[in-house]
Copies of this chain bind each other. A is one copy, B any other.
């Protein structure tokens, strides 16, 4: 049980009618090691990468080693929200969630020839029997070998769309920008298996549409460009980029049509080959990548299905990566100002922070009123587990408003001076839209019913 006075606990119990109900989180107890002497290591935090600087100084993400990070409670909550969004969209297109091991036998990678081709980025190790193992950066080999082991896969079961959301590993030459180029990161990787090129292209389009819906929910401007297939291979690919100065990819974007490309793929051009308009350059953070693989892997692993005529035929494959931790970081990079964290609203770890009055102030007696407001809000279906109480009452309200705004809470509910008036009022700070509303209790409830209904 988080630390709360007995009285407040009793009130919660009675009002909520259930002992099972969880109390809203209290900021003083939240593991958020901000403002510690980690700030002394600020020099180590790459100066140009706003998202990582904010995440580290706020104590949301902490380095664990070269290119590896601890995701602390706020990051963990945001990640789970993103995973929920991705799961729903993958399910909508018939995606089936699985978990494949991180440890992959070296033999599989030798079959696809990536054991050598992928280079030093592949983390390799030996087990106690001296067998080669690697830590999966992606799972084309694993999933294709899995599917190829099923002798009676019928055309009726296709398309098959298998995906997972797991830790991935890449021994980056220069890990940097925190979660943007880490050696261990979370990725959603989906693999589709189709009966023909035409069907595979249709599945490819369907997954790309799901990606568009995910980015839309994150209110993130993401551009889709032709990409380089690189060591994954296949016929063609598309990358998804969040435009940003710190992006490591150089993009060329047509100023009037949809022609967009990565300079890796196409040398610098000033005129669009499609519509002859002017091309502009931009930098992008790659957050997703879809590959039309065709039969590259299904040939290597002899992955077949039984067609309508009862004959075995090679499967047509595509794969689709979506950086989970990278997307979190890239969205903060795109939305935040210099020192003020802003999440996509759907990823904000807590939507509402209720700021209680300062201890010893004349409005201190409104403290219980504040607890009540917090509890009432936490009862809204859309706000369950989304309310945090700023109980650091030794600090002034003003100081806490600034602090909580920079911490990225979208809505602050301030129980301050006006809470002790005849008709008590509450200040609602709509932080992301830079607006303040002064509302009664009933109006406050209406406000959140409208803004955080689901």
Contacts and interface: CB of A to CB of B under 8 A. Distances in A.
Interface in A242-268: none
Interface string A410-444: 00000000000000000000000000000000000
B127 A125 contact: no
Report copies per complex. Answer: 2
Given A103-B183, A124-B125, A146 B73 contact: no
Contact of A156 (B28, B80, B125): B28
Interface string A71-92: 1110111011000000000011
Interface in A46-60: none
Interface stretch (A167-175, A282-290, A292-300, A367-375): A167-175
A376 interface: no
Contacts of A150: 33, 36, 38
A59 to B, nearest CB: 9
**Among A75, A91, A127, A167: residue with most chain B CB under 10 A:** A127
A2 interface: yes
A59 B149 CA distance: 12
Contacts of A91: 22
Contacts of A69: 101
- What interface size band does chain A fall in? 35 or more
A332 B280 CA distance: 59
A77 B1 CA distance: 29
B94 A70 contact: no
A29 interface: yes
A142 interface: yes
A329 interface: no
Given A28-B157, A65-B104, A98 B71 contact: yes
A214 interface: no
A105 interface: yes
Contacts of A36: 150-152
A31 B162 contact: yes
A66 interface: yes
Nearest to A107: B65
A190 to B, nearest CB: 13
Contact of A38 (B76, B105, B149, B166): B149
Contact of A102 (B38, B131, B152, B167): B167
A94 B1 contact: yes
A93 B171 CA distance: 38
A184 interface: yes
Contact of A29 (B1, B94, B142): B94
A317 interface: no
A252 B194 CA distance: 55
Nearest to A151: B37
A399 interface: no
A127 B96 contact: no
A101 B66 CA distance: 11
B100 A73 contact: no
A36 B146 CA distance: 13
A131 B66 contact: yes
A160 interface: yes
Nearest to A392: B156
Interface in A143-165: 146, 149-153, 156-157, 160, 162, 164
Interface string A130-147: 010101000000100010
A127 B76 contact: no
A98 B72 contact: yes
A120 interface: yes
Given A30-B96, A73-B96, A124-B125, 14 more contacts: A22-B92, A28-B156, A28-B157, A29-B94, A31-B160, A31-B162, A33-B153, A37-B152, A65-B133, A68-B101, A68-B103, A70-B101, A103-B123, A123-B127
